[in-house]
Amino acid sequence: MEKKNIDWASIGFGYMPTDKRYVSLYKDGAWDQGALVDDPNIVLNECACVLQYAQTCFEGLKAYTTEDGRTVCFRPDLNAERMYDTAKRLEMPPFPKDRFVEAVKQVIKANEAWVPPYGSGATLYLRPYMFGSNAVIGVKPADEYQFRILTTPVGPYFKGGVKPITLCVSDFDRAAPHGTGHIKAGLNYAMSLHPIVEAHKAGFDENMYLDAATRTKVEETGGANFLFVTKDNKVVTPKSNSILPSITRRSLMVVAKEYLGLEVEEREVYFDEVKDFAECGLCGTAAVISPVGKIVDHGKEICFPSGMTEMGPTISKLRDTLTGIQMGKIEGPEGWIVEI
């Protein structure tokens, strides 16, 4: 497969239209058979439910070229499952999980020339998404929906690649205790736009959100879960019903335990304990695992011993092992790698 002539190493996390996208339409109570299409644009009624009441959700996963030239993707069954759960919470008709995985395979195959070469530092990002498309004016779910998958080659999510980043503790809440923080609803990201613009203006890379009820516990950032490493090398991740169950985080906990032989703990993490950790990272499909060097809480700085120039040793091992599995250098647990 001849790859597109792109300077892969210099691309950031942006949108670049590729050759094909997948579309399936829901009407009269059923999903149609779906197809790959060329047009990246969508024509919608002015009163479409997604435009008026934000009835939309999405997923994110990546396709990789392995060292021996195969094209693979990572745990698409878990994205299928999470989107299924999200759709139910948003009163949308869930897209069947087996068809989701099939559509992922089809759209990667059709855009194989856009899957960046092994070792380039870039990957093909897949964005499955779904929205209510027919006109509604009273507040109620739509009757018609589109399920789509777009693909775009991407580089690192944070500028500077794998250099440690700086977070600020946000005064805004990301999710309510019985709200939608645990699903991938577009509305969660709409609410994060103002806080992220403010954080960037103040010179920070991202926000750390605390739990809305008590503002004492660590939740997550706008687009990634937290992983901490204790001074005695235990991997700790916050447990909460209002954070997104990150597939990367769940995978890294398995990597930490099964591949690196580390003790792992998923539990409530109080903000007061953060200063005692040795390393901190943000994990997600886009973020992979990005090291955090510093967290600023209203002017008070927490500086991790791993510093602002290098990734800490444990986060670095976790990252190498996970990306090694994703790129076919290390044998992954059964079912993690799906060949296209």
Question: Which phi and psi angles does 112 have, rounded to 5°?
Answer: -60, -30
326 binds ligand COI per the rule CB under 6 A: no
Q: According to CB under 6 A, which one of 93, 223, 281, 312 is a site residue for ligand COI?
A: 223
Residue 317 annotated in active site: no
Catalytic residue selected from 184, 234, 239, 300: 184
- In whole angstroms, how far apart are CA 40 and each of 13, 21, 137, 216? 18, 7, 27, 44
Q: What is the DSSP string of 3-22?
A: PP---GGG--S-----S-EE
Smallest distance from ligand PLP to CB 248, Å: 3
The one-letter amino acid at 7: D
SS3 108: helix
Residue span 180-219 as binding mask against ligand PLP, x where in contact by CB under 6 A, dash where not: ----------------------------------------
Q: What is the DSSP string of 290-306?
A: EEEEEEEETTEEEE-TT
Q: State which residue, 205 or 220, has the beta carbon closest to ligand PLP.
A: 220
Note whether 240 and 199 are within 8 A (CB): no
Q: Which two tokens stand for residue 304?
A: 């991790």
Q: State which residue, 199 or 302, has the beta carbon closest to ligand COI.
A: 199
Q: According to CB under 6 A, which one of 116, 164, 284, 332 is a site residue for ligand COI?
A: 284
Smallest distance from ligand PLP to CB 164, Å: 19
- Name which of 11, 24, 2, 39 is nearest 159 in CA terms: 11
62 beta partners? 125
Q: Is 267 exposed, middle or buried (0-12, 13-18, 19+ CB in 10 A)?
A: exposed
Give, rounded to a whole angstrom, the gap between the first and last alpha carbons of the chain: 13
86 binds ligand COI per the rule CB under 6 A: no
Q: Which two tokens stand for residue 167?
A: 């977070």
Q: According to CB under 6 A, which one of 60, 93, 94, 128 is a site residue for ligand COI?
A: 60
**Which range of residues in 28-36, 74-82, 90-98, 279-287 is near ligand COI by CB under 6 A?**
279-287
SS3 267: strand
Residue span 222-261 as binding mask against ligand PLP, x where in contact by CB under 6 A, dash where not: -xxx------------------x-xxxx------------
Smallest distance from ligand COI to CB 247, Å: 9
195 binds, among ligand PLP, ligand COI, none (CB under 5 to 8 A by kind): none
**Which range of residues in 37-45, 172-180, 232-240, 282-290 is near ligand COI by CB under 6 A?**
282-290
> How far is residue 143's CA from residue 91's CA, in Å, rounded to a whole number?
10
128 binds ligand COI per the rule CB under 6 A: no
Size of the site for ligand COI (CB under 6 A): 5
Per the listing, tokens 């539990």 go with 267
Q: According to CB under 6 A, which one of 50, 80, 253, 286 is a site residue for ligand COI?
A: 286
Q: Which residues bind ligand PLP (CB under 6 A)?
A: 60, 220, 223-225, 244, 246-249, 284-285
Question: What is the binding site for ligand COI (CB under 6 A)?
Answer: 60, 223, 284-286
- The catalytic residues are 184
